[in-house]
């Protein structure tokens, strides 16, 4: 122990934590000793005493651990890790075990290593785990809107983003607009659908049933949905994710049609992939790193003020990134 080199551990503790009320000479003496024998405080012991670990958890239900290969998640994670580091916190990846006993699951997650946690919204999460976590009064922030008003969340403006995409189509002259959605029981999918409907309604249009295809956010799902959607002969298609848009692209090409000449296409996310496909994908960009930052901010403020029951709910704006697949450049050229 460092305090062998001079003083009592109380004083050593004061020096190391930079607390006031220590003689400058004593302080220097302690710091010398610290430097001399390469001492570093033992974080675990400190946590036990202070009841703070400076660690925030990320809860991932095992069944959805394919999340990792989702670029959305990667970028989100990067944002979270950076924001956490800026606040002197570390990030613990916690895989929630697959079990029907969600109470035990929550207990194991809330094992004391984390001061609070961030969870990515998913059907699984919301149905089984969230209620327990809330009941345990554990600081938690969801990424993605969560229907229950009790929980803090950060989200992007899904309704607005979908509306932007749809309005873009409408301005380009398209009227028969189809959409490929995610699982509609997820708020994110329902919101994006609603955005499409709102934009159409503002133009006095409505979205007929046969132009809505429900899929699962994946590329394969997008391809299958597009194959069915083609029968309804849309002029333009808004896919709720870039992955589905890319699947749709394949289906369209297989059907012998061209994008954007025969069919305009817009995605959602702005994955790095989006600008590399052929044609480059017009898409709705989400400020994902910012989303991660906000999640950390909200979580830390909740940890710092556990008594304050205010749950903060943050919604960030989206941008439409216009590339080739929507046909806007071609239309402009034709006009100009």
Partner DNA sequence: GGGTCGCTTGGTACCGGTTCCAGTTATAAT
Partner DNA sequence: ATTATAACTGGAACCGGTACCAAGCGACCC
> How many other CB atoms are there within 10 angstroms of residue 259's CB atom?
23
Residues 6+ apart with CB under 8 A from 295: 79, 80, 83, 118, 141, 143, 154
DSSP secondary structure letters along 115-126: SEEEEE--HHII
Q: How far is CA 123 from the centre of its chain?
A: 14
Binding mask 118-157 for a second copy (x = CB under 8 A): ----------------------------------------
Cβ proximity to DNA, 26 vs 134, nearer residue: 26
3-state secondary structure of 177: strand
Whole-angstrom Cα distance, residue 199 to residue 166?
6
The number of CA neighbours under 13 Å toward the Cβ of 49 is: 7
User: Looking at 33, 246, 252, 266, which residue binds a second copy (CB under 8 A)?
Assistant: 246
Specify which residues 22 forms β-bridges with: none
- Residue 264 CB, shortest distance to a second copy, in Å, is 20
Does residue 248 touch a second copy according to CB under 8 A?
Answer: no
Cβ proximity to a second copy, 206 vs 276, nearer residue: 276
Binding mask 78-107 for a second copy (x = CB under 8 A): x--xx--x----xxxxxx-x-----x---x
- Residue 26 CB, shortest distance to DNA, in Å, is 3
Specify which residues 236 forms β-bridges with: 177, 264
Cβ proximity to a second copy, 122 vs 164, nearer residue: 122
Which helix H or strand E contains 315, and what residues bound it?
strand 313-316
Q: Which of residues 26-45 bind a second copy (CB under 8 A)?
A: 38, 40-45
Angle of helix 187-202 relative to helix 158-171, nearest 10 degrees?
40
Whole-angstrom Cα distance, residue 271 to residue 38?
45
Whole-angstrom Cα distance, residue 325 to residue 323?
6
Binding at 230: pick from a second copy, DNA, none (beta carbon under 5-8 Å per type): none
Q: Which of residues 39-58 bind DNA (CB under 7 A)?
A: 39, 41-42, 45-46, 48-51
70, 90, 118, 264, 291 from 81: Cα distances, Å? 17, 7, 11, 37, 12
Whole-angstrom Cα distance, residue 73 to residue 54?
22
Segment interacting with DNA (CB under 7 A) among 25-33, 85-93, 152-160, 200-208: 25-33
Residue 93 carries which DSSP code?
E
Does residue 34 touch DNA according to CB under 7 A?
Answer: no
Segment interacting with DNA (CB under 7 A) among 5-13, 168-176, 243-251, 282-290: 5-13
Binding mask 204-243 for a second copy (x = CB under 8 A): ----------------------------------------
Whole-angstrom Cα distance, residue 162 to residue 65?
27
Cβ proximity to a second copy, 44 vs 184, nearer residue: 44
Specify which residues 143 forms β-bridges with: 120, 154
Which residues here bind a second copy, judged by CB under 8 A? 38, 40-45, 47-48, 53, 55, 60, 62, 65-66, 68-69, 71, 73-75, 77-78, 81-82, 85, 90-95, 97, 103, 107-108, 110-113, 246, 272-273, 276-278
User: Which residues here bind DNA, judged by CB under 7 A?
Assistant: 1-2, 7-11, 13-14, 16-17, 20-27, 39, 41-42, 45-46, 48-51
């Amino acid at each position: 122990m460092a305090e062998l080199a001079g003083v009592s551990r109380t004083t050593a503790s004061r020096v190391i934590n930079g607390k006031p009320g220590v003689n400058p000479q004593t302080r220097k003496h302690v710091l010398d000793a610290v430097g001399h024998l390469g001492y570093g405080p033992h974080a675990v012991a400190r946590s036990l005493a202070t009841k703070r670990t400076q660690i925030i958890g990320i809860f991932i239900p095992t069944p959805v651990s394919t999340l990792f290969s989702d670029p959305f998640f990667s970028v989100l994670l990067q944002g979270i890790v950076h924001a956490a580091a800026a606040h002197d916190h570390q990030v613990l990846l916690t895989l929630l075990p697959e079990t029907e006993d969600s109470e035990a699951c929550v207990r194991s997650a809330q094992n004391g290593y984390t001061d609070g946690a961030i969870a990515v919204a998913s059907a699984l999460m919301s149905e089984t785990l969230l209620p327990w976590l809330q009941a345990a009064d554990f600081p938690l922030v969801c990424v993605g809107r969560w229907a229950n008003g009790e929980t803090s969340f950060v989200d992007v403006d899904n309704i607005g983003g979908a509306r932007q995409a749809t309005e873009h189509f409408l301005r380009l002259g398209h009227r028969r607009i189809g959409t490929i959605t995610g699982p509609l029981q997820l708020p994110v999918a329902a919101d994006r659908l609603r955005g499409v409907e709102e934009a159409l309604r503002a133009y006095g249009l409505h979205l007929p049933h046969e132009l809505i295809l429900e899929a699962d956010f994946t590329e394969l799902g997008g391809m299958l949905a597009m194959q069915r959607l083609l029968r309804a002969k849309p002029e333009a298609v808004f896919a709720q994710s870039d992955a589905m848009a890319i699947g749709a692209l394949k289906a369209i090409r297989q059907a012998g049609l061209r994008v954007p000449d025969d069919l305009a296409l817009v995605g959602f996310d702005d994955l790095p992939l989006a600008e590399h496909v052929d044609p480059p994908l017009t898409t709705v960009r989400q400020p994902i790193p910012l989303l991660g930052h906000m999640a950390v901010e909200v979580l830390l403020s909740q940890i710092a003020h556990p008594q304050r029951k205010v749950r903060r709910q943050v919604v960030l704006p989206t941008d439409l990134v216009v590339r080739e697949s929507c046909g806007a450049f071609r239309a402009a050229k034709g006009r100009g």
